[in-house]
Amino acid sequence: MTAQPNAYYPNLLKPLDLGFTELKNRVLMGSMHTGLEDREKKFPRLARYFAERAEGGVAISVTGGFSPNLEGSFYPGASKLSSSREIKRHLQVTGAVHEAGGKIALQLLHAGRYAYHPLSVAPNRIKSPITPFAPIALPGWGVKKQINDFAEAALLAQKAGYDGVEVMGSEGYFINQFLVEHTNRRDDEWGGSFANRMKLPVQIVQRVREAVGPEFIIIYRLSMLDLIENGSTWEEVVLLGKAIEQAGATIINTGIGWHEARVPTIVTSVPRAAFTWVTEKFRQEVAIPVCTTNRINDPQVAEDILSSGQSDMVSMARPLLADPHFVIKAQSGRASAINTCIACNQACLDHTFEAKEASCLVNPRACRETELNYLPTAQPKNIAVVGAGPAGLAAATVAAERGHAVTLFDKANCIGGQFNMAMRVPGKEEFENTLRYFGQLIETTGVKLELNTEVTAAQLKGFDEVLIATGVKPRVPNIEGLDHPSVLYYTDVLRGNAPLGNKVAVVGAGGIGFDVAEFITHAGSSSTLNPEAWFKEWGVDRSYQTRGGLIAKEPSPPTREVTLLQRKDEPLGKRLGKTSGWVHRAALRDKQVRMLSHCEYFKIDDRGFHILVDHKPQLLEVDNIIICTGQESLRDLMAPLEAAGIKAQLIGGADVAAELDAKRAIDQGSRVAAQI
Ligand code: FAD
Ligand code: NAP
Ligand code: SF4
């Protein structure tokens, strides 16, 4: 009997017949390096992490990258699979996934010149702009050794119980480095013509297929749009795709952009499913299933892609960190209960690039599945949580999920705290989803929500536990003339739409200063919601006539003249997120925002803002000055609570304001509530 199509997402949840095996639906969990892969002792955690995603309905997961040899590893001690001694640890992972009803493929990733060690190898000795080591140029026999190592690693993966491998041929790694003249200047059989340059990936797939036999999934991640100067042409992409199909690949997955590309491809300001058009174009050229990727974080978006024939499968990576139960929630018509990935990169990719274990800002359990669990309580308590920002929301819902009776107060008329300001910033629209998620969770866990309630100590009498999550207030800097009518705080601008003149100085260049500068230079709707405008802004050639798919950027003109200032003598935005900071900096440069560092703030008066830059006086003749100079904890309730003898615990910004972000607020709120 054939199964009935799913009532909600029939295409997303339709099985995919691969001939020798079947995938139960169209969801592939894309490869993410979590940091658990690097150490044998962390494999039990890795197994639980993948098993939870398989239990949650993912058809096939792809592991983080494992190098086929030492020279291809990312950094000293990074994950690799090159010896039979390494098989045993993987059996835990594959066993756990199979027991949970899923499939799993191991990603074979050779870093090439992106490696962080002096033994890195590449077609030529050309250093990458994002790593400190110049690679060793491979001799001909060395190229053959790399191919051999891929085949051997695939065989080891098969012995370790994997259902397949993904050969990482995109994102600017080793294989990509052979494909384009940008990095391949060889004049032997591996360089010169495109036929020579593509021999490496084709031979890798051929040799892997020979090694593993016909009944093993080979996914090839193909760089369909390099987004670098001198990248592949569309014709080369198609030639390679057809050859990879011939060589024995089972599925072709989409790769977009090299790591060194200066077009953002996955951060939150990238429109949803922005690059699916590339997969659609490619799908017409091959007969095997293709999988699309990048900024797909919603089941309806995925369903629309599949139902319109743009792709056969959808790869989601970060969305499954954020919610391991994404698929079963979609399957049962509970899409609004999905904890949506907001594409912030703060706890996943930023951690990976800082050599820390990955997790997720909206789901602190991600990669902590064996240690952070919200278990039912044996002693239900009556708990008050004051403040419904990220910290309070996390604490209230975790405590209620565990069986406590929770009342959540906020003086505002809605939940979300500062996230209500964040989501107004163009390019941060996704943040609204976190509030939708928590709103839903408040209902399903039975949290009693009391909005428009500025809590006093007297109201907190009688609760067994009190959590204070009242957040922060803007820091008031020490500048003469701060009471001048031209002065505003970021809260006035982002919450209150305070009217602004044409020339504005933004004081303080942290995350909020950058966001405010973005907010006040934007006209009309956000390009994140208008992909065609976004492609123009970032110079993506939608007609794909150029190498790498790049054309000149056409940023929309700024609505006002903005100067962004900081006291530190370092480039502005240097401390923003590792993987997203460059996008914010480039976006403001395109908006012609003037950036001044090493400032001293002297005085504000009718003439403007008097400052010193590099100790030299300057007058900024501006209409408004917006203060974004950090924040201080708001915990006025603590003293009256103490006086009334009520014990309370501080969480989130109310606890520590310095370097506070939603990652820390949600993590702390969840952990405290998991212990009550
Ligand atoms: P808050 O969000 O400040 O919430 C405190 C809540 O307590 C508020 O709702 C307030 O109304 C309520 N409250 C206060 N006093 C009382 C009282 N007496 N009675 C009842 N209720 C009370 N972080 C990131 O990680 N990534 C980002 O990209 C990011 N972007 C941001 C952009 C902007 C423009 C802003 C302003 C912030 C951004 N943040 C970002 C920071 C993030 O929003 C904060 O770190 C987070 O909201 C702090 O959470 P919290 O729960 O501690 O406090
Ligand atoms: P912040 O990052 O601490 O930046 C505060 C800015 O004010 C800095 O530029 C600082 O630089 C300046 N400053 C500090 N004290 C000052 C003083 N007394 N006088 C004058 N200038 C002073 O804080 P924020 O921008 O308010 O952001 C708050 C938190 O939200 C951050 O921790 C951040 O993680 C989070 N956030 C994150 C994002 C994101 O995209 N990830 C976006 C927005 C917010 P100088 O000392 O050099 O002047
Ligand atoms: Fe998504 Fe941010 Fe979580 Fe990463 S940390 S998975 S980008 S929500």
- Asked if residue 78 has pLDDT above 70, the reply is yes
Task: State in Å: Cα 659 to ligand 2 middle.
Answer: 8
Global pTM value: 0.96
Specify the residue for token string 């050859």. Answer: 243
86, 210: one domain: yes
Please give the number of the atom of ligand 2 that sits closest to the Cα of 513. Answer: 25
Cα separation, 39 vs 43, in Å, equals: 7
Backbone angles phi, psi at 522, to 5 degrees: -90, 140
Please give the number of the atom of ligand 3 that sits closest to the Cα of 297. Answer: 1
80-107 pLDDT per residue, tens: 999 999 999 999 999 999 999 999 999 9
Burial 56-84 (b: 16+ CB within 10 A, else e): bbbbbbbbbbbbbbebbbbeeebbbbbee
538-547 pLDDT per residue, tens: 999 999 999 9
Helices then strands, each counted (H, E), the chain: 21, 27
| CATH code of 175's domain | 3.20.20.70
Looking at residue 465, what DSSP letter applies?
A: E
- Asked if residue 3 has pLDDT above 90, the reply is no
Nearest of 458, 406, 441 to residue 323 by alpha carbon = 441
- Asked if residue 58 has pLDDT above 70, the reply is yes
460, 481: one domain: no
Ligand 1 pocket by C-beta < 6 Å: which residues? 344, 346, 386-392, 409-412, 417-419, 421-422, 425, 454-455, 469-472, 494, 511-512, 515, 634, 637, 652-653, 660-663, 665
460, 424: one domain: yes
| CATH code of 605's domain | 3.50.50.60
Task: State in Å: Cα 638 to ligand 1 middle.
Answer: 18
Cα separation, 315 vs 305, in Å, equals: 11
517, 637: one domain: no
Looking at residue 41, what DSSP letter applies?
A: G
The pick from 494, 596, 629 for probing ligand 2's pocket by mutation, whose C-beta has the most ligand atoms within 8 angstroms, reads 629
Task: State in Å: Cα 423 to ligand 2 middle.
Answer: 18
* Residue partners of 274: CB distance under 8 A and separation at least 6: 265, 294, 295, 531, 534, 535
| CATH code of 459's domain | 3.40.50.720
Average pLDDT of span 498-514: 96
Evaluate whether residue 390 is within a structural domain. yes
Q: 210 falls in which pLDDT band (50, 70, 90)?
A: very high
Contact predicate 618/612, CB 8 Å? yes
Cα separation, 473 vs 239, in Å, equals: 58
130, 164: one domain: yes
What is the count of structural domains for the chain?
A: 3
245, 265: one domain: yes
- Asked if residue 77 has pLDDT above 90, the reply is no
The pLDDT of residue 1 is: 55
Instruction: Give the pair of three-digit tokens for residue 429.
Output: 């629209």
CA atoms within 13 A on the CB side of 98: 12
Residue nearest to atom 8 of ligand 3 (CA): 341
* Amino acid (1-letter code) at residue 368: R
198, 249: one domain: yes
How much helix, strand and coil, in percent to the nearest 5, is found in the chain?
A: 35, 20, 50
Task: State in Å: Cα 495 to ligand 2 middle.
Answer: 18
Domain end residue (candidates: 591, 614, 629): 629
- 437 assigned to active site: no
620-639 pLDDT per residue, tens: 999 999 999 999 999 999 99
Instruction: Give the pair of three-digit tokens for residue 476.
Output: 């008031």
- Asked if residue 496 has pLDDT above 90, the reply is no
Return the SS3 of 506: strand
Return the SS3 of 106: strand
Cα separation, 166 vs 507, in Å, equals: 48
Nearest of 517, 485, 501, 494 to residue 596 by alpha carbon = 517
Q: Is the CB of 630 under 6 A from ligand 2?
A: yes
615, 647: one domain: no
Instruction: Give the pair of three-digit tokens for residue 258.
Output: 């090299």
Averaged pLDDT of the chain? 96
129, 278: one domain: yes
571-581 pLDDT per residue, tens: 999 999 999 99
217, 345: one domain: yes
Q: Is the CB of 472 under 6 A from ligand 3?
A: no
Evaluate whether residue 180 is within a structural domain. yes
Evaluate whether residue 663 is within a structural domain. yes
Which class for 161: exposed (0-12), middle (13-18), buried (19 or more C-beta within 10 A)? middle
Contact predicate 519/559, CB 8 Å? no
466, 493: one domain: no
Q: 659 falls in which pLDDT band (50, 70, 90)?
A: confident
Evaluate whether residue 544 is within a structural domain. no
Evaluate whether residue 140 is within a structural domain. yes
270-294 pLDDT per residue, tens: 999 999 999 999 999 999 999 999 9
74, 200: one domain: yes
The pLDDT of residue 2 is: 65
Average pLDDT of span 454-466: 94
Evaluate whether residue 19 is within a structural domain. no
Task: State in Å: Cα 576 to ligand 2 middle.
Answer: 10
Evaluate whether residue 654 is within a structural domain. yes
Evaluate whether residue 11 is within a structural domain. no
Of these residues, 9, 49, 114, 173, which one is catalytic? Answer: 173
359-377 pLDDT per residue, tens: 999 999 999 999 999 999 9
The pLDDT of residue 525 is: 81
Task: State in Å: Cα 273 to ligand 3 middle.
Answer: 16
Q: 379 falls in which pLDDT band (50, 70, 90)?
A: very high
The alpha carbon of residue 224 and the mean position of all alpha carbons in its chain are separated, in whole angstroms, by 20
The pick from 268, 407, 636, 661 for probing ligand 1's pocket by mutation, whose C-beta has the most ligand atoms within 8 angstroms, reads 661
- Show the domain range for 658: 382-473+633-675
